Structure 1
Amino acid sequence: MAPAAAAAFAAQVLRGRWFMAYGSFLIMSAAGATYIFAIYSKDIKATLGYTQEQLNTVGFFKDVGANIGIHAGLVAEVTPPWVVLAVGAAMNLGGYLMLYLSVTGRVRPAPPLWLVCLYIAVGANSQAFANTGALVTCVKNFPESRGVMLGLLKGFVGLSGAIFTQLYLAFYGPGGGGDTKPLILLVGWLPAAVSVAFLGTIRIIRAPRPPGAFLYVSLALAGYLLVAIVLQKRFRFTRAEYGVSATVVFTMLLLPLGIVLREEAALFKFNIRNAPEAQADAPALPPVTVAASAKPAPTAGARLLAALRPPPRGEDYSILQALIGESLGYPQRSVATFVSLISIWNYLGRVAAGFASEALLARYRLPRPLLVAGALLLTVPGHLLIAFGVPGSLYAASVLVGFCFGAAYPMILAIISELFGLKYYSTLYNVGNVASPVGSYILNIWSHRVLLRLPGRSGYGSGVCSCVIFVLCRKDAEDCLQ
């Protein structure tokens, strides 16, 4: 390839639709820091001298930050995606860095509880900005494959817990003596760096269906992580062996780049052969845009009535219209293993639900709400295993709970987009997440206080409470370890 053609091809790749999708995958694979809170929460409790109730409060504010992102959606309505990602990167770095300095004793005197809650809430809230900037943009770019893209992107978020664990073990284990404080620093700088790296990449570019090879690469990554976690649980790995494992993970994260180059090379050759027709590749404005511009401006009363009158289902709604492991005796190593397993099964559930729900809807007209109900029903055995504290049941429960919760999440987000449209999806996507922190507060902090007043508050009662929290809060299963 001539130098000029090579430069043109490189520019096309960097500005192309597939590199945009790849950047979204990487941002999502680093946006799940809140899922590994159970790994480093013990150090927060020990170094800051917190009680379990105080640690639950910190966990609650972590959930608040991770799930309340309406403001991120509103910012995305009036700014390009790079602004949303930049704000999220700054919040991630600032929040987790201050949490790390507090836990390591570099901040004197030790910050009060409310300030630690603020730090973790700010850091966790960056996840809402990453989801809004990358995931929502990608769904808008692939409107005909929204279920598939939601499954893939949310799948990479589900894998992020296992990815972070592998990187942490490679950088700081196993000689760290169980010290997980460096993990807080890792989740502070790495997601911010990934978001900054793709600030100029994530933007609106309408595209056809994504290549199926993206799915195969992500499945291979999940399969490798599953095998690695099982081997690391069974055998004692050295620092060098953990480093090799992390290198394999990093290499597999780069594999989708080959798919990007293949797709862009085919498009590049097509554009060279059909230069006069190259403009046809750009999406044309829908006819309704031209027609709407010729209509007279509606009066204030007409605009208010239109805002209150819901459009047909699937059309674009306006915002106004739309509006425990330690108690079971598991060691720290098992906690990290369980969190990683939850991440992998969460990923498999999200990807399977994204592809399967899209296919079942297109072929058999099977509605997604029915599939969501079926997925939640399958979590019942997993909840019961945790509630009754069956020895060794936590790992079997990770399969059921992780897979089914992972399956429900992308389908719920797809349902929101199908009911209310994609025009204001940045905000509507975040509105759907508000229920989780509300339920977390009521059923985690409040129920913990109630249990302390009940006779026989340990054992079965605590397990049943955890079961109820799982069902009603849609919390990730690793939170039972707190």
Structure 2
Amino acid sequence: MALQWLSLVGTIWLQSISSTNSNFPSYSSQLKLLFSLSQLQLNNLAFASDAGKLFGFVSGIAACHLPLWLVLIIGSALGFIGYGVQYLFLVKNKVSTLPYSIVFLLTILAGNSICWINTVSYMIVIQNFPSDRQLALGLSTSYQGLSAKLYSDVVGVIFKPSSSIQTARSYLLLNCILPLVVCLIVSPMIRDIKHTNIRRFSYGFLVIFAITVLTGTYAVITSLGSRKQLIPPRVILIGYVMRAAWMEEMEGWVLNEHGVKDEGVLNEHGVKDEGVFVSCDIEEMRVDVILTRLNFWLYYFVYMFGATIGMVYLNNLGQIVESRGSSETTSLVSLASSFGFFGRILTCLLDYNASRIKYRVSRPAIIALLMLPMTTSFFLLLNDSSLCLHISTAIIGLCTGAITSISVSTTIELFGTNNFGVNHNIVVTNIPIGSFLFGNMAALLYRQQAATNNGKCMGTKCYQTSFMIWGFLCFLGAFLAIVLHSRSKKTYV
């Protein structure tokens, strides 16, 4: 069982460094100056990072035919090339010689690398923790929410950039190197563990959950505190070591025949002997089938009007903060990242409690509830106060993280596990499409407001209309989620 827990440690490490696109707002303003980009061109780069997901299904196909460790290395190599070439041009001060079209394509390549890493992480957890799938997925994917925070703190502590070009260089170098190094270290842990019995490991997850909450609490506190006191890489590393040590001990916890408390064995129907419900029959569907189902399209637009709009907001956070005359971009990105982490942890808590009752919680219903505070937050942003900006950013980060995390389990429960690698990558194609539509809409509205000020817009009017549109779409997404719940609630009883 030690290898099983070690695989979970590996996926946690991978998820912590996988979302390299989430730190884009931290250096987007600097990149705009260095490449002399318009607001529309900058938004298209944010879209390009998400556009890699349009080809995410390739990683799902590869995972079905190649060893997962090889899929992982391929993914990290794509990111190494995508970010590395951009970094080299910045180092040699030859930014002007790098065509925008090449930067765009390199950004797509880097964005696609994230799909490969995430696909491997999801599949390992699904295969190795069949009876605690949702809980394990929630715990591992929660660390995606800390990616932006982790990268921002490492840049601040190690690189300490003092100029625009140094900031951009630091992030591009870290995006290039860190995923490759971690993937090389973790690749031996990534393997499908063959099971003779399906067992539950509730006490082990409780300890991991407690450590995770402490890590997230520290992240939130330091996001609100002084930057000079931050040494998060060391603290997070200590957390990983503690988890690894605990997981290595978990092998003995399930050996009931040796006199140690057993966490319970599931029968062939996925039910504990005590009668506690933990899973149900799920219809397995191929991608050609799901595309013909109304539930798929409801789910697709729910995701687009919820988590994707949240991501578009976060991608534009650098420009939003700048338009309000503030210089708190990095702290707000860290704040959104930290609350996104807790949003993902929230879904873990729901899954943990749901596994102990006879009726599971409807995930579409949870998504609908999460999208209501998101709607309120977008309208709250119409107020120009710094407090409203911080509160709204925290709520949007939390809800976006929660929806993103719960979407993995939702995809499984709606369409099955056999073709998950391809199915979920088809679902997340809504992210680049939504990023392009909603991001460019915001850029065009920004440019319209900036027409009288040399292309630079200042004040709440810059994004006022965008916030209203995003808010109404988010409310529409909540309604669609309720419809999806009513159509699929039989899955949860």
Q: TM-score range by the shorter chain?
A: 0.7 to 0.9
Q: Which structure has the bigger radius of gyration?
A: 1
1:166 aligns with 2:153: yes
Q: Tell me the SS of whatever aligns to 2:18.
A: coil
Asked if 2 retains the 8 angstrom alpha-carbon contact of 1:313 and 1:420, the reply is no
Asked if 1:343 is matched to 2:337, the reply is yes
Partner of 1:201: 189
Relative to structure 2, which stretch is displaced further, 380-389 or 433-442? 380-389
* 3-state SS in 1 of match to 2:187: coil
Partner SS, residue 200 of structure 1: helix
Corresponding position of 1:54: 41
Per-residue CA distance 1:250-303 (angstroms, 9 max, x = gap): 222322111122113557x889x69xxxxxxxx99x89xxxxxxxxxxxxxxxx
Query: What displacement does 1:391 show?
Result: 3.4
Aligned-partner Cα distance in 2 for 1:473–1:223: 28
Q: Determine the C-alpha separation between the residues in 2 that align with 1:328 and 1:189.
A: 32
Aligned counterparts of 1:451 and 1:402: Cα–Cα separation in 2: 22
1:152 aligns with 2:139: yes
Return the alpha-carbon distance in structure 2 between the equivalents of residues 105 and 46 of structure 1.
17
| Structure-2 separation of matches of 1:430 and 1:98 | 26
* Partner of residue 372, structure 1: 367
Alignment partner of 2:173 out of 185, 192, 196: 185
What is the letter of the counterpart of residue 258 of structure 1?
A
- Tell me whether 132-141 or 458-467 shows the greater mean CA deviation: 458-467
| Matched position secondary structure for 1:379 | helix
Measured after TM superposition, the shift of residue 152 of structure 1 is 1.1
Residue 229 of structure 1 and its aligned partner are, at CA, apart by: 2.4
* 2:244 aligned residue (250, 253, 257): 257
Q: 1:433 aligns with which of 403, 418, 428?
A: 428
- In the alignment, is residue 135 of structure 1 matched against residue 110 of structure 2? no
Partner of 2:309: none
Match of 1:98 in 2: 85
Cα deviation for residue 67 of structure 1 reads 6.2
Q: Does 1:424 align with 2:388?
A: no
CA deviations 1:13-61 (Å, max 9, x no partner) are 4xx1110110110011111211110001122111111111111111110
Which residue number corresponds to residue 280 of structure 1?
none
2:286 aligned to which of 302, 318, 322: 318
In structure 2, give the amino acid aligned to 1:102.
Answer: F
Correspondence 1:263-274 to 2 at 5 A: 263-264=250-251
Q: 1:41 to 1:208 in 2, by over 3 A?
A: farther
Alignment: residue pair count: 420
CA displacement 1:160-184 (0-9 Å, x = unmatched)? 1111111111111265678312121
Pick one of 219, 230, 243 that aligns with 2:224.
Answer: 230
Q: Which residue of 1 aligns with 2:59?
A: 72
Per-residue deviation, 1:467: 4.8
Offset, 1:426:
0.8
Measured in 1, the distance between the counterparts of 2:324 and 2:414 equals 45
Partner amino acid for 1:203? R
* Alpha-carbon distance, 1:470 to partner: 6.9
- The residue type equivalent to 2:104 in the other structure is C
Amino acid in the other structure paired with 1:228: T
Displacement of 1:73 in angstroms is 0.9
Q: So what's the TM-score if we normalise by structure 1?
A: 0.79
8 Å contact from structure 2 (residues 335, 394) kept in 1: yes
Q: Residue 136 of structure 1: CA displacement?
A: 2.5
The one-letter code of the counterpart of 1:202 is I
State the secondary structure of the residue aligned to 2:182: helix
How is 1:34-53 mapped onto 2 (pairs within 5 angstroms)?
34-53=21-40
1-side partners of 2:141 and 2:54: how far apart?
14
Q: CA deviation at 1:144?
A: 2.6
Distance (whole Å) between structure 1 residues aligned to residue 153 and residue 246 of structure 2: 25
Give the aligned partner of residue 215 of structure 2: 221
When the two chains are superposed, the root-mean-square deviation of aligned CA atoms in Å is 3.1
Q: How many Å apart are 1:198 and its aligned residue? A: 1.6
Runs of 4+ in 1 over 6 A off after TM superposition: 454-458
Residue in structure 1 matching 2:348, options 354, 362, 379: 354
Q: CA offset at residue 335 of structure 1?
A: 0.7
Q: Which moved more, 1:72-81 or 1:369-378?
A: 72-81
Q: Residue 410 and residue 108 in structure 1: after superposition, are their counterparts in 2 closer, same or farther (change >3 A)?
A: closer
User: d(CA) in 1 for partners of 2:18 and 2:64?
Assistant: 21
Q: Give the 3 Å change call, closer, same or farther, for CA 249–174 of structure 1 in structure 2.
A: farther
Q: 1:440 and 1:89, CA in 2 relative to 1: closer, same or farther beyond 3 A?
A: same
CA shift, 1:103, in A, is: 3.2
Distance of 1:317 and 1:150 partners within structure 2:
21
Alpha-carbon distance in structure 2 between the residues aligned to 1:262 and 1:379? 41
| Residues 191 and 73 of structure 1: CA distance in aligned 2, closer, same or farther (over 3 Å) | same
Q: Report the residue type matching 1:386 in the other structure.
A: L
Code of the aligned partner of 2:422: T
Q: 2:384 pairs with 384, 389, 400, which one?
A: 389
**Cα 1:451–1:229 shift into 2, 3 Å:** closer
Write the distance in 1 (CA, Å) between the matches of 2:283 and 2:329.
Answer: 45
Query: What is the TM-score with the length of structure 2 in the denominator?
Result: 0.77
Structure 2 unpaired stretches of 5+: 260-265, 270-279, 292-318, 476-493
Q: Secondary structure at the match of 1:255?
A: helix
Partners of 2:223 and 2:335 within 8 A in 1: yes
- Identical counterparts, % of pairs: 21
SS at match of 1:30: helix
Provide the residue aligned with 1:248 in structure 2: 235
2:381 alignment partner, SS class: helix
Task: Specify the alignment match of 2:277 in structure 1.
Answer: none
Q: Structure 1 residues 436 and 25, CA, compared in 2 at 3 Å: closer, same or farther?
A: same
Matched position secondary structure for 1:376: helix
